[in-house]
Structure 1
Amino acid sequence: MKRAIPVLALSVAGLVPVWLYSPGAAHEGEISEIAAPETPQQTQAAPQTQTQPQTQPQSQSPTAPKSSAPAPTTQQQAQTRTVSGPAVNTSEGTVQVQVTFQGTKITDVKALRAPNSNPTRMALPILRQEALKAQSADIDTVSGATATSDGYKQSLQAAIDGAK
């Protein structure tokens, strides 16, 4: 009985900081994939699109006009465009995506703005992969990042609609 009162008092004193804990400034703010360096896949994709038009004129007959060679490259460059979706406010923070199209195909999706939280950091690569695979905004919500997923899909759909 003599020890019960000090044990209780120290237990409560030890739990008070746990009850009062709130995440610090390191957990607040937004993250952006735009500042991220290019992946090797992105750097390899550009030379492939440049070499394909060069191989086509070589396979043509010698009587074919050489002025037709730059046309596919110009058309491909004209078809590549980037569209940013609107910033969507969610309960976790603001989400905004940027979509790159090659013709009508989605070739890349980047998060311009997203909440700086662990679930969001884990969800963004999954959402990007799903969008590229589905070629639309009809993607699954990532468990644990529902608000971010919903905002991502809304911004993605608006960017796709804006590209049409």
Structure 2
Amino acid sequence: MKRAIPVLALSVAGLVPVWIYSPSAAHEGELSEVAAPPAQEQQQAAPQTTTTAPKTTGSAPKTTGSAPKTTQQTQQQAQNRTVPGPAVNTSEGTVQVQVTLQGTKIVDVKALRAPNSNPTRMALPLLRESALKAQSADIDTVSGATATSDGYKQSLQAALDQAK
């Protein structure tokens, strides 16, 4: 009986921090990336303009038979389009990807939402690399992150189907 009171008091004292603890937003069980456009698109969106005084040589400029391509025409040909996939619920959490296409070529795949677990964090770069290499959603499952891999492939395939 002499030990019961200290044991009870210490047990309660040990549980108080557990009851008070609340996780921060970064640890709520889901990763979330803000889908920022690739650096290439950011550069295209903000063209640099420089002003220089024209040089005069005293002769008229020579003209060729065709007009030179403007940077705007080149940019329109190289337009990237971004298509988000649906959010797929897995046993580990929600997975959602966004694919960036240039014509029919996959140039980038981003995970918009994914479970916040160590296997998922390790698997996401591998899944992205596989998708870029395969140029499709037909990629291998990452061992240890099977549920995340399956959700990633489903969301990617749906985004590719939607892009057609």
Residue 43 (structure 1) aligned with residue 45 (structure 2): no
Equivalence map 1:5-154=2 (5 Å): 25=23, 28-34=28-34, 42-43=38-39, 62-66=64-68, 68-69=69-70, 70-77=72-79, 80-154=80-154
* TM-score scaled by length of structure 1: 0.66
Q: Find the structure with the greater CA-based Rg.
A: 2
Q: Aligned residue pairs: how many? A: 123
RMSD: 2.7
* TM-score scaled by length of structure 2: 0.66
After superposition, the Cα gap between the structure-2 partners of 1:75 and 1:44, relative to the gap in structure 1 and judged at 3 Å, is closer
**Structure 1 segments of 4 or more deviating over 3 A?**
24-28, 42-48
After superposition, the Cα gap between the structure-2 partners of 1:46 and 1:104, relative to the gap in structure 1 and judged at 3 Å, is farther
Tell me the CA shift for residue 45 of structure 1. 8.3
Higher normalized helix content (fraction of residues): 1
CA–CA distance in structure 2, aligned partners of residues 25 and 137 of structure 1: 34
Deviations 1:102-133 (A, max 9, x none): 11100000000000000000000000000000
Gaps of 5+ in 2: 1-21, 45-62
Identity %: 71
After superposition, the Cα gap between the structure-2 partners of 1:47 and 1:121, relative to the gap in structure 1 and judged at 3 Å, is same
Deviations 1:59-106 (A, max 9, x none): xx932113x4332322322xx100000000000000000000011100
**In the alignment, which residue of structure 2 is the partner of 1:20?**
none
CA–CA distance in structure 2, aligned partners of residues 154 and 72 of structure 1: 34
- The residue type paired with residue 43 of structure 1 is A
- The residue type paired with residue 98 of structure 1 is Q
